[in-house]
């Protein structure tokens, strides 16, 4: 009896009832102990019907047999050896498909030009700068603080007036005024230029007053000496500065018995041209 005649009834039922469909591997086996019936006994119609009735699930990973050494060597020999040598071996695991890459900014983009301008490296400070003044300098030159909104970080300079006065005396320069105190009123001077209201240049009404308030509030909330209590207020009151001001001076409280005096000088673009403070301090260097 052939496979086709023995299971013809089952195939007819399988047209209506899909659960009665037999696996393809079982259909290909003979009922008797004789040799396996070849696929030629199945007509093309029944074979296509069985393929249509098979589940639409890819189960290659269940039936795949391990490759032998001969098969792997034969398959690899079909490719030129140079194709494998061109790929370097790496012990690192492959990158996940969701890895993102950062694109490099275009230098010609105006936004990137402004961004790079704000991140200019700060000017060097004297090696003997006291730690409290270094702390304030970090606040004024950082691009992650409130000062970055009102201060041009690359214009911040620190001057040691004690050393400067001695240098001028040794050169016979400067004016001699008879008094009990020799030297300037401030031993350390911080000089900076404020940002403007829009374009970044330090021009515009109220630019000095705005920067003065931000720096003073930070000093009240972050004292430069441990014995100075910090203000608990979120917006502590500061002196009122005229919106027309082009120069402002902030005296620094360095704590009791500090032995030195320091201040911050803020100028906008008009004040820089009018008072020329940078030229005065840099002249003796």
**Spatial separation of the C-alpha atoms in residues 122 and 141, rounded to whole Å:** 6
**Spatial separation of the C-alpha atoms in residues 117 and 99, rounded to whole Å:** 31
- Which residues lie below 8 Å from residue 275, measured CB to CB, with a gap of 6+? 246, 247, 267
Strands (E), the chain: 157-160, 188-193, 247-252, 262-267
Which residue shows structure tokens 């700060």?
Answer: 122
Rounding to the nearest 10 degrees, give the CA dihedral for residues 81, 83, 88, 90.
-90
Using alpha carbons only, give the angle 267, 272, 275 rounded to the nearest 5 degrees: 100
**Spatial separation of the C-alpha atoms in residues 222 and 228, rounded to whole Å:** 9
Domain spans in the chain, listed from the N-terminal domain onward: 3-62, 111-283
What is the pLDDT, as a whole number, of residue 223? Answer: 97
**Spatial separation of the C-alpha atoms in residues 281 and 6, rounded to whole Å:** 111
What is the pLDDT, as a whole number, of residue 58? Answer: 44
What is the pLDDT, as a whole number, of residue 281? Answer: 86
What is the pLDDT, as a whole number, of residue 188? Answer: 96
pLDDT tens digits in sequence order for the chain, 285 residues long: 555 555 555 455 544 545 444 444 444 444 444 444 445 554 555 555 555 555 444 444 444 454 444 444 444 333 333 333 443 444 444 333 223 333 344 545 554 544 444 456 889 999 999 999 999 999 999 999 999 999 999 999 999 998 777 766 667 665 555 555 555 689 999 999 999 865 555 567 899 999 999 999 999 999 999 999 999 999 999 999 999 999 999 999 999 889 999 999 999 999 999 999 999 888 765
What is the pLDDT, as a whole number, of residue 204? Answer: 77
**Spatial separation of the C-alpha atoms in residues 111 and 231, rounded to whole Å:** 37
Question: What DSSP character marks residue 87?
Answer: S
Using alpha carbons only, give the angle 122, 128, 133 rounded to the nearest 5 degrees: 60
Answer yes or no: are the C-beta atoms of 50 and 24 closer than 8 Å: yes
Count of C-beta atoms within a 10 Å radius of residue 75: 10
What is the pLDDT, as a whole number, of residue 282? Answer: 84
211 to 16, 22, 78, 174, 223: CA distances (angstroms):
86, 85, 74, 32, 18
């Amino acid at each position: 009896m052939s496979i086709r005649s023995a299971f013809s009834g089952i195939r007819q039922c399988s047209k209506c009832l899909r659960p009665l469909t037999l696996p393809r591997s079982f259909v290909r086996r003979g009922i008797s102990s004789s040799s396996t019936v070849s696929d030629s006994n199945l007509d093309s119609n029944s074979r296509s019907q069985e393929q249509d009735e098979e589940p639409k699930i890819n189960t290659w990973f269940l039936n795949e047999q391990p490759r032998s050494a001969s098969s792997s060597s034969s398959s690899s020999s079909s490719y030129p050896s140079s194709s494998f040598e061109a790929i370097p071996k790496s012990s690192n695991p492959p990158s996940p498909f969701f890895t993102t890459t950062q694109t490099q900014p275009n230098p010609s983009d105006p936004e990137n030009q402004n961004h790079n301008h704000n991140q200019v490296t700060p000017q060097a400070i004297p090696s003997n700068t006291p730690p409290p003044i270094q702390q304030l300098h970090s606040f004024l030159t950082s691009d992650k603080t409130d000062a970055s909104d009102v201060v041009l970080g690359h214009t911040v300079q620190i001057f040691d007036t004690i050393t400067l006065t001695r240098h001028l005396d040794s050169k016979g320069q400067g004016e001699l005024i008879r008094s009990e105190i020799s030297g300037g009123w401030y031993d350390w001077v911080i000089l900076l230029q404020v940002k403007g209201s829009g374009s970044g240049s330090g021009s515009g009404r109220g630019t000095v007053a705005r920067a003065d308030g931000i720096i003073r509030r930070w000093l009240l909330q972050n004292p430069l000496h441990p014995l100075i209590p910090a203000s608990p207020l979120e917006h502590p009151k500061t002196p009122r500065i005229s919106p027309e001001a082009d120069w402002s001076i902030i005296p620094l409280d360095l704590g009791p018995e500090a032995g030195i005096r320091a201040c911050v000088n803020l100028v906008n673009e008009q004040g820089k041209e009018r008072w020329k403070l940078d030229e005065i301090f840099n002249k003796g260097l």
